[in-house]
Amino acid sequence: MNFFMKLSCIRFFSVFFSLLLCLTSFAQSIVRADPPNWWSGMQQNKIEILFQAKYIAKCRAFINSEHCKILGTTPLPNSDYLLVEIEISPDCPPGKLEFTFASSRNDYEYSFPIESRSTKTTKGLGANDLVYLVFPDRFSNGDPSNDNNPSLLEPKADRGGLKSRHGGDIQGITNHIGHFQELGVTALWLNPVLENNQPYESYHGYAATDLYKVDPRLGTNASYKQLVAECHKKGIKVIWDVVYNHWGNEHHLFKNLPDSNWVHWFPKFTRTSYRAETLMDPYASKADRDIMTNAWFDKHMPDLNQQDPHLARYLIQNSLWWVEYAGIDAFRIDTYAYPDQIFMKQLDEAMRLEYPDFFLFGETWVQGSPVQAWFTEEAEVKKNFNSSLHSVTDFQLYYAITKGLKENFGWEEGFRRIELTLAHDILYKEPNNLVTFLDNHDLSRFYSMMGEDMASFKMGIALLYTLRGIPSIYYGTEILMKNYSDPDAKVREDFPGGWPGDTSNKFTSSGRTRQEQEAFDFCSILGTWRKANPWLGKSKLMQFVPEENTYVYFRYDDMHTVMCVYNGNDKAHTLKLDRFSERIGNVKVGRDVISRRELELSKELVVDPRQVLVIELPQ
């Protein structure tokens, strides 16, 4: 072979190997980093970044920065992942941290953004708020262009399918902020909006597949952030619905697990017992506690092991990230009883350290006030740790109202069921923080539960809006949407008028029936009254033992008094007012918030059949 032929061969193989090297480098580029960025000036200035790339666990990590340093690296059992802990100095300017990863096999570079903080405070949540719960896929379709997405496992919207995607989205919710204002709503709670790239029933949002991405069929991270901003402009707070117990089985990290220890495993599929009382029961077996906490919620929902310190940190950092990114005011924590409770305490404390005004409440679908109270901070029940959780969903009052309004008056039935439940408030540090409700996305619609009886409906709404706690109303309750939760999808129907071409539009008074408008007006009157009277949230409650199927209680402080009266009888009832002189005092005339009529309060008060009165007393 002559010189020129040798030179040509050398050039050919040089180009070939250079090309191969480039292709190899491209194929092994950094796939992603979680979190995707951080902020300077955070209390949480030490973070653990999960880098994903082929064989990155074999690499050494370097950073070129005067304001940040690497504290350590942790290669995970799956060589595609490397955890890098960094410390960001308080004076770190906005910009990008330049990471270099090197090994004998691979070299990577990655630019990690550090941004200026936009959310230094949050608005929190309190008993002077009125929460409106929206099921995003079923409320309003404001952007039909995102209904279908061929890149997802459930690619098409189908309003005819009970459990399919219907096309409701974040833009649709943004378009109807005025509806919330009409009702006196001060806080908006959306069921989860994160990506749920599951092959079926992806509409409900509770099987996340990416913790850093809004589901594209609902919108984008930016559109969610814009919704929060628009709500804040209108004086409405925003609540994030978060799940720590499980992911969807199509979650990108579950399909390529960084560490098998991140998930609880059993020899065969094992479902949780759903028996939360085993966590506080002094006689419970360890086996029962393990099944409750470690078994899977459903076959497509792998149960996360929050005792793994790296997974725990991943989840907490993700929560901090969303609050800082979007300006969220509070968390509703799904299936609060099922994750590791020590982890939940760490999560609660981390959120409150970074955002002192932030509010967290957990879903505790349990039986019995002691079980429910056990999950709240400084509860008056025996436990070996303080949960640091502000509040829980008050299922006990839900049971009392929905049962009490339907049953005959008795020793512990009817209104007395409600009174007895409220007497259990001695168990809570702050019962005013309990989130109260009449129905939600998992429960039969309240109007249906009341047998479609308007008088019972009004009593329930009045109880919800005037008793202690933070009231939450489910979308459509105000227009008498109905159905039973068998299956759950039946109580997650589309809000009429939320889709182009709907035959009726219940967002407008002209689209509502007479009865629907009556219900809407009742909710609006009490909701706007609550909003105009923020003192109610910090007021005291005094109740009188129900007698003759009537129930009377007062909300009051040093400057205000409201008397709430319920007549459960089918005929008029005359109340002897001297029984309530402890609170009425010398007041002779009050004003009913609902009818706006003045009522004489000298000796007796005649209450119409099945009537509720909310009477403001002058000081």
468-499 tens-digit pLDDT = 999 999 999 999 999 999 999 999 999 999 99
pLDDT at 20 over 60: no
Q: What average pLDDT does range 103-110 have in this prediction?
A: 89
- Residue 29: which pLDDT band, with cuts at 50, 70 and 90? confident
- Residue 385: which pLDDT band, with cuts at 50, 70 and 90? confident
Q: What average pLDDT does range 245-265 have in this prediction?
A: 98
pLDDT of residue 382: 81
Exactly one of 354, 363, 394, 419 is catalytic; which is it? 363
pLDDT at 523 over 80: yes
Give the pLDDT confidence of 303-328 residue by residue, as tens digits. 999 999 999 999 999 999 999 999 99
Residue 276: C-alpha distances to residues 147, 322, 339, 366, 523 (Å): 38, 29, 11, 7, 34
Q: How far apart are CA 582 and CA 386, in angstroms?
A: 37
CA 595 and chain centroid, separation: 35
pLDDT of residue 118: 79
Nearest 10 degrees: Cα torsion 26, 27, 28, 29:
50
pLDDT of residue 16: 41
Q: What average pLDDT does range 598-611 have in this prediction?
A: 96
Give which of 88, 44, 32, 40 is closest to 316, Cα–Cα.
Answer: 44
- Which segments within 342-452 are labelled E, that is strand? 359-362, 391-392, 435-437
Q: What average pLDDT does range 545-565 have in this prediction?
A: 98
Judge whether 334 counts as a catalytic residue: yes
Under 8 Å between Cβ of 560 and 425: no
What is the residue-wise DSSP string for 293-339? HHSBSBTTBPBB-TTSHHHHHHHHHHHHHHHHHH---EEEEETTTSS
Q: How far apart are CA 352 and CA 354, in angstroms?
A: 5
Please state, for a pLDDT cut of 70, what percent of the chain lies above it.
95
* Superfamily of 539-617 according to CATH: Golgi alpha-mannosidase II (2.60.40.1180)
Judge whether 230 counts as a catalytic residue: no
Q: How far apart are CA 208 and CA 405, in angstroms?
A: 37
For residue 565, the one-letter residue type is V
- Domain 131-537: state its class: alpha beta
Q: Between 382 and 74, name the one with better pLDDT.
A: 74
Give the number of other CB atoms < 10 A from CB of residue 265.
Answer: 12
- Domain 32-115: state its class: mainly beta
Among 61-75, 118-132, 347-361, 407-421, which stretch is predicted with the lowest mean pLDDT? 118-132
- Residue 15: which pLDDT band, with cuts at 50, 70 and 90? very low
Q: How far apart are CA 535 and CA 152, in angstroms?
A: 48
- Residue 163: CB partners within 8 Å, gap ≥ 6? 200, 201, 203, 487, 489
pLDDT at 17 over 70: no
Give the pLDDT confidence of 164-221 residue by residue, as tens digits. 999 999 999 999 999 999 999 999 999 999 999 999 999 999 999 999 999 999 999 9
- Residue 28: which pLDDT band, with cuts at 50, 70 and 90? low
Q: Dihedrals φ, ψ of 617, to 5°?
A: -105, 130
Q: Dihedrals φ, ψ of 504, to 5°?
A: -140, 150
Give which of 245, 492, 504, 487 is closest to 365, Cα–Cα.
Answer: 245
- Residue 378: which pLDDT band, with cuts at 50, 70 and 90? very high
In the chain, where the domains are located: 1-27, 32-115, 131-537, 539-617
pLDDT at 239 over 70: yes
> In CATH terms, are 32-115 and 131-537 the same topology?
no
Residue 336, classified by CB atoms within 10 Å of its CB into exposed (0-12), middle (13-18) or buried (19+), is buried
Exactly one of 334, 340, 394, 419 is catalytic; which is it? 334
pLDDT at 384 over 50: yes
- Residue 19: CB partners within 8 Å, gap ≥ 6? none
What's 497's DSSP letter? T
Residue 202: C-alpha distances to residues 248, 272, 490, 601 (Å): 9, 21, 15, 56
For residue 402, the one-letter residue type is T
Under 8 Å between Cβ of 434 and 403: no
pLDDT at 4 over 70: no
pLDDT at 23 over 60: no
Give which of 423, 425, 405, 427 is closest to 414, Cα–Cα.
Answer: 405
- CA-based torsion, 441, 442, 444, 446: positive or negative: negative
